[in-house]
């Protein structure tokens, strides 16, 4: 896919806690009527949807008001619907595969559409369309140890054997997408210019979260 293949307008899905990165897969359970309509419309066209992070609690949105426009960050990631299935109760189970990040030029008047549409600018992130380095100078042991400790404080575990053969890019992206970080923190991961920068942001966020949780644990014990 090239820049010329990308659309001039893009439906967006503002959703805190759902980070999409280029060349990574994001499963989504769609049940709100406005987003069921969005998926249905996307399937009739290029199958592209833009995932964006809300930039405040308002972004976790009043779903009872289809015309609500929660504040969002100015950068998102376009994903292509690569898998979809309807459930008996009317939901849609889809998988978005990240294609390219974008900056929001402007929001398009939605007319009678229940979801939001923007004009995306992909130029700044055109490198997403090329195969970047799969491996970097990543200390996987240090990163995995920090994640083990962080998740262990919440009685969670990761089966590292499932990612033992993963590239550095896949490992960093999977951990970034599954991390329980806030929308601003996830946005920082999204905006990182390249894989090395994203790995550094991820490590820093993990160290901060780990320190905060340990401090909180000591406070409770005292």
Q: How many helices (H) and strands (E) are present in the chain, helices listed first?
A: 5, 6
17: exposed, middle or buried (Cβ count in 10 Å: 0-12, 13-18, 19+): middle
Classified as helix, coil or strand, 177 is: helix
**Residues spanned by the domain of 160:** 140-221
Do residues 164 and 201 share a domain?
yes
pLDDT tens, residue order, the chain (222 aa): 889 999 999 999 999 889 999 999 999 999 999 999 999 999 999 999 999 998 864 444 444 454 556 789 999 999 999 999 999 999 999 999 999 999 999 999 988 999 999 999 999 999 999 988 888 989 999 999 998 898 888 888 888 888 889 999 999 999 999 888 888 899 999 999 999 999 999 999 999 988 888 775 444 334
Do residues 124 and 146 share a domain?
no
Do residues 175 and 81 share a domain?
no
The two three-digit tokens of residue 197, written as one number: 């920068």
Do residues 209 and 189 share a domain?
yes
* Residue 21 is assigned to a structural domain of this protein: yes
Do residues 37 and 122 share a domain?
yes
Do residues 99 and 146 share a domain?
no
Total count of domains within the chain: 2
Do residues 51 and 147 share a domain?
no
Do residues 28 and 113 share a domain?
yes
Residue where a domain terminates, one of 108, 129, 150: 129
């Amino acid at each position: 896919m090239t820049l010329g293949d990308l659309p001039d307008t893009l439906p967006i899905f503002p959703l805190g806690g759902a980070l999409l990165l280029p060349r990574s897969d994001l499963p989504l359970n769609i049940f709100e009527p406005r987003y069921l309509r969005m998926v249905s419309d996307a399937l009739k066209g290029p199958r592209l949807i833009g995932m964006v992070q809300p930039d405040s609690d308002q972004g976790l949105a009043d779903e009872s008001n289809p015309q609500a426009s929660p504040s969002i960050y100015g950068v998102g990631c376009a994903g292509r619907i690569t898998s979809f299935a309807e459930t008996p109760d009317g939901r849609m189970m889809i998988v978005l595969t990240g294609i390219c990040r974008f900056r929001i030029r402007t929001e398009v008047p939605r007319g009678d559409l229940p979801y939001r549409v923007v004009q995306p600018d992909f130029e700044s992130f055109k490198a997403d369309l090329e195969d970047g380095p799969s491996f970097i100078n990543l200390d996987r042991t240090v990163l995995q140890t920090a994640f083990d400790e962080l998740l262990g404080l919440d009685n969670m575990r990761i089966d590292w054997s499932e990612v033992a053969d993963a590239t550095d890019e896949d490992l960093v992206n999977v951990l970034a997408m599954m991390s329980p970080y806030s929308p601003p923190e996830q946005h920082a991961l999204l905006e990182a210019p390249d894989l090395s920068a994203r790995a550094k942001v991820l490590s820093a966020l993990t160290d901060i979260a780990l320190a905060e949780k340990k401090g909180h644990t000591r406070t409770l014990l005292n």
